[in-house]
Amino acid sequence: MNQHYFSEAPAGDLRPREIEVELAGAPRTVVTAGGVFSPEHLDRGTEILLKTLAKVRNETEGPILDLGCGWGPIALAAALEHPDREVWAIDVNERSRELTARNAQSLGLANLRVADPESLPSGLAFGEIRSNPPIRIGKEALHGLLRLWLPRLADDGVANLVVAKHLGADSLQRWIAAEFPDLEVERVARDKGFHVIGAVRS
């Protein structure tokens, strides 16, 4: 694929398609399109992250951030599960933002906000950060992304990131622990070649 899903403005016309996925314990019809991450189905990593979060049930408060929302599965699930909490979905890809907003509207999720990263309120801290981060942007860019957003965790806030083992889950976990001494970092789950990394601001 020569048009990466993390481009700000994907080439090609928007050709939306409907798919059915399970979110927050029920089947949901959503709209996806080419030029975004995993447009044909709910990818394995995100599926594992959502199942893990459903089991863990972090007792946090405050807004939830989906970092790199794609067409929106993580943010949509969070907004469905926590109708009383504000959920923010951000992505550099304008098509991802458009699709997430359309899906939020069709599911009646008034608590979901979609924004480009630079438009997020600067003083906003998050009770949770949930992400299937864009590992393929490269280590340097990924580290820069995490240096920007992990400090936005509120006190007692929790970040959960899903990363494929063969794409460096273990080394990323070690880097987060070394880079952010104020976070307690552990592997929360391991399933089908993916690790869910948890980081808690204590």
- Token digits of residue 163: 């990363």
Angle between helices 139-149 and 169-179 (to 10 degrees): 40
Does 11 have pLDDT greater than 70?
no
Q: Is-above-0.85 flag for pTM?
A: yes
Is there a domain that residue 56 lies in?
A: yes
Q: What is the mean pLDDT of the chain?
A: 92
Task: Give the separation between CA 199 and CA 189, rounded to whole angstroms.
Answer: 13
What is the C-alpha separation between 157 and 62, in angstroms, rounded? Answer: 9
Can you give the pLDDT at residue 8?
56
Instruction: Name which of 10-24, 68-82, 156-170 the model is least confident about.
Output: 10-24
Q: CA 115 from chain center: how many Å?
A: 13
Q: Please report which confidence band the pLDDT of residue 1 belongs to, taking 50, 70 and 90 as the band edges.
A: very low
pLDDT bracket for residue 13 (50, 70, 90): low
**Is residue 9 included in any domain, yes or no?**
no
| Structural domain contains residue 24 | yes
Would you say residue 8 lies in a domain? no
Q: How many domains does the chain have?
A: 1
Answer yes or no: is 12 within a domain.
no
Tell me whether residue 111 is in a domain.
Answer: yes
**Closest C-alpha to 52, from 163, 135, 160:** 160
Looking at residue 3, its pLDDT comes to 38
pLDDT at 103: 98
Distance CA 191, CA 142 (A): 22
Write out pLDDT tens, residues 113-146.
999 999 999 899 999 999 999 998 999 999 999 9
Measure the CA–CA gap between 189 and 97, rounded to whole angstroms. Answer: 29
Q: How many alpha carbons lie under 13 Å from residue 91 in its C-beta half-sphere?
A: 35
Q: What is the per-residue pLDDT across 95-107, written as a single tens digit (0 to 9) for each?
A: 999 999 999 999 9
In this prediction, residue 4 carries a pLDDT of 40
Average pLDDT over residues 153-182: 97
CATH number of the domain residue 93 falls in? 3.40.50.150
Residue 142, pLDDT score: 95
Give the range of the structural domain holding residue 161, as residue numbers without chain letter: 17-201
Structural domain contains residue 5: no
Residue 135 lies in a domain: yes
Confidence of residue 59 (pLDDT cuts 50, 70, 90): confident
